[in-house]
Amino acid sequence: MSNRQRRFRIGTESIRSLCTGILGALGAESCEVSIVLVGERTMRDLNRRFRGRDYATDVLSFEYGGKGESGAPLLGEVVISPATALRQALRWGSTHDREMRRLLVHGMLHLLGYDHTTDKGEHFAVQRRLLRRRFASGPRATVEGTGRR
């Protein structure tokens, strides 16, 4: 996991635990995923460069293949903007932590081949099921604070 933003303190163990739970629940426990947290400016640049959309999105997934750090198959990378996640959580009456967890699950499902634009609701159904699982609401927060470090 790589935290390239400074606005929010991130609970890296919680994120690792959530990713491990998701991979295990979907039968991909032998795979690796890279998680990168970025600021809104970087997310906007990535969204413009790879999707042609000039705004900061919440989550992007990039499939890579190859081997990860442990030698296990690398599914790819999930890039999340915690600042965008907070803005969405406030808009939808949710919490920052819950939104970060939703984005992690959402991005990882894309890496595992789910595509909500074509699958007639399967992606979102699996996402809801995973978010109800015990590992998805772990005791440690993914976002430890909303202030500056």
Q: Which fold has domain 2-137?
A: Collagenase (Catalytic Domain) (3.40.390)
Query: How confident is the model at residue 57, as a pLDDT?
Result: 94
pLDDT of residue 141: 66
By the 10 Å C-beta count (0-12 exposed, 13-18 middle, 19+ buried), 69 is classed as: exposed
Provide the CA 80 distance to its chain's centre, in angstroms.
Answer: 6
Give the pLDDT of residue 148: 35
Domain range annotation of the chain: 2-137
Q: How far apart are CA 100 and CA 56, in angstroms?
A: 15
Confidence (pLDDT) at 11: 85
Q: What is the pLDDT of residue 47?
A: 96
What is the full per-residue pLDDT of the chain (149 aa) written as tens digits? 899 998 898 888 889 989 999 999 999 989 999 999 999 999 999 999 999 999 999 999 999 888 888 888 999 999 999 999 999 999 999 999 999 999 999 999 999 988 887 887 888 999 999 988 877 666 666 777 553 33
Buried b (16+ CB within 10 A) or exposed e, 112-139: bebebeeeeeebeebbeebbeeebbebe
Beta bridge partners of 74: 32
Instruction: Tell me how far apart the alpha carbons of residues 93 and 29 are, in angstroms, rounded to a whole number.
Output: 33
Q: What is the pLDDT of residue 139?
A: 60
